[in-house]
Amino acid sequence: MEVDGNAVLAKALREQGVEYVFGIVGIPVVELSMAMQAEGLKYIGMRNEQAACYAAQAIGYLTGKPGVCLVVSGPGLLHVTGGMANAQVNCWPLLVIGGSTSQDHEGIGGFQECPQVELSRPYCKYSARPPSVALIPLHVEKAVRLACYGRPGAAYLDFPGNLLSARTTDDVIPSQYPHPKGPDVFPDPTLVEKAAQLLCTAKNPLVIVGKGAAYSRSELQVRQLIHQSNFPFLPTPMGKGVVPDTDPQCIAPARTLALQKADVILLLGARLNWILHFGRPPRFNPNVKIIQVDINAEEMHNSVLSSVAIQSNIAPFTEQLIDIIAKKRFQFDKSSEWWKELRAKCEINRTVVEKMALNTETPLNYYAVFHHLQQYIPKDAIIVSEGANTMDIGRTMLHNKLARHRLDAGTFGTMGVGPGFAIAAALFCRDYFPSKKVICVEGDSAFGFSGMEIETMVRYQLPVVIVIVNNGGIYAGFDKQTYDDMRSGGDLAQVTPASALTFETRYERMMSMFDMKGYFVRTIPELQSAVKDALVATDKPTIINVAISPQADRKPQDFKWLTESKL
């Protein structure tokens, strides 16, 4: 039977376990999108290539199988490089498929001609163009395998228009196996023993639970380790929920103290990058001993020299560590000075935050909004969050009970990810956990990057609750009188502050485009009523636009949020 490149590619993706495709079609991939649907793949048409790429990588994180981002040639592929870089740095599996100009048009000014394989290579683990229709399945298998194996990341495959339309007979296409499950990496037992010895003799131990522990689905083992050992733990932003944020051994409110005074730190799938202040003083004890557990050997000793560096999957390492600690009959003393100091600091910080959270005077502050939002959203909701203060304060106020239930700007700090992540999360919930809700908490600046994806949510009947925390600016805005006064004279491009957005923009009115209802709220009772209404919806998104004080800020910090370079 005769087949074309579109059909071969679509079948190869299905055979490798791909379920979801996100993209924007155009020449030369229109027929490819139809072939994908004919093969049973779920195609989600987005409004922006970056958002499509964010959605594809988020579904990869949630399912463990790469999502596909389908884009057109030239500008389409260039628009998606931000998403590819985000997936690569964030370590999420992703496959980008780009149409490209026909090979016989290359070098003579073909439509949207662009060196796409070369452009993609810095942002992914594998970048290639299959040389023939018959070899498409081989390259698909390799791209999916490399996106998943080891530290996950992005892969790119390039398809000229003439390759997609080329025809051959199916008997000349070699059968291609589905890529095998990635091999588990087991730790060196002598290193696990060394790690256990360090932890059991530490005066101020600390476990840091990273995103790698969440992605590897190691929550059962990590929870057992925490509770059996009595060690305090600190989650990274997307390590939240591996052990519940509300667990009494979570010392997130005392984060600064814990990092500064810990003498032995166990890193479980977390990197000593900017999020953890590079593991260096003054944010860390200069004499701290680091036990580093990571799937990627190249990550070992990055930034600081670890006392013990162990290449391993998180689950087998944690299981071995649990066994060794049990044989030693060790439990860290919960009445120790270390626990007393941590509990005291947690209580002080909780008291400060509670005072701000219970201040419901208008205009509202971040803490009041998040405190009361937390009371109404389901405990098993997937929380998507982005923005500056919106995301950072939300990390401390919006709790996660379960692993892989928080998606935010992550390691690359990328703005605009929220709606795409929320679309992926809503599709994941619809197909696997229909009772779960998706709450997308956006700063007003962050929402502006990808806000038109609200139409995508409406089109696919995705019940995402979007909460926009609106302060009229980037980081901070201005009250209406000050905003108007500043702009009353002179060239607006010279007198409008760079961080200013329009005062109290009515984002919720976007819902009226679809004859649906949005909510504009200024008070806590209005917020509570809007959230309750929104959670009832099962087939449509909702926008809740919360006006807060333009000068609302986070509580005073002991340090600047970003560790300064000493060089």
Which phi and psi (to 5°) does residue 42 adopt? -95, 115
Q: Considering only CA atoms, which of 49, 33, 36 is closest in space to residue 10?
A: 36
Residues 51 and 138 in one domain: yes
Q: How many domains does the chain have?
A: 3
Residues 202 and 326 in one domain: yes
Residues 409 and 556 in one domain: yes
Residues 338 and 477 in one domain: no
What's the Rg (C-alpha) of the chain?
25
Residues 390 and 506 in one domain: yes
- Cis amide bond preceding 434, omega within 30: no
Residues 137 and 166 in one domain: yes
Contact 88, 63 (CB under 8 A): no
Report how far apart, in Å, the C-alpha atoms of 171 and of each of 135, 228, 317 are.
13, 58, 46
Residue 352 lies in a domain: no
pTM passes above 0.85: yes
Scan for tokens 């309750």, then name that residue: 532
Residue 353 lies in a domain: no
**Tens-level pLDDT at each residue, the chain (567 residues):** 899 999 999 999 999 999 999 999 999 999 999 999 999 999 999 999 999 999 999 999 999 999 999 999 999 999 999 999 999 999 999 999 999 998 889 888 988 889 999 999 999 999 999 999 999 999 999 999 999 999 999 999 999 999 999 999 988 888 777 878 888 999 999 999 999 999 999 999 999 999 999 999 999 999 999 999 999 999 999 999 999 999 999 999 999 999 999 999 999 999 999 999 999 999 999 999 999 999 999 999 999 999 999 999 999 999 999 999 999 999 999 999 999 999 999 999 999 999 999 999 999 999 999 999 999 999 999 999 999 999 999 999 999 999 999 999 999 999 999 999 999 999 999 999 999 999 999 999 999 999 999 999 999 999 999 999 999 999 999 999 998 888 887 899 998 999 999 999 999 999 999 999 999 999 999 999 999 999 998 999 999 999 999 999 877 766 666 666 544
Give the strand pairing for 67-71 and 126-128.
unpaired
What does the alpha-carbon distance between residue 72 and residue 158 come to, in Å, rounded to a whole number? 10
What does the alpha-carbon distance between residue 534 and residue 545 come to, in Å, rounded to a whole number? 12
Residues 222 and 126 in one domain: no
Of the three residues 344, 369, 387, the one that is the final residue of a domain is 344
Tokens of 246: 């509300």
Residue 349 lies in a domain: no
Residues 165 and 210 in one domain: no
What does the alpha-carbon distance between residue 217 and residue 403 come to, in Å, rounded to a whole number? 8
Residue 176's SS3 state is coil
Of the three residues 318, 344, 370, the one that is the final residue of a domain is 344
What does the alpha-carbon distance between residue 468 and residue 76 come to, in Å, rounded to a whole number? 28
Domain range for 477: 359-562
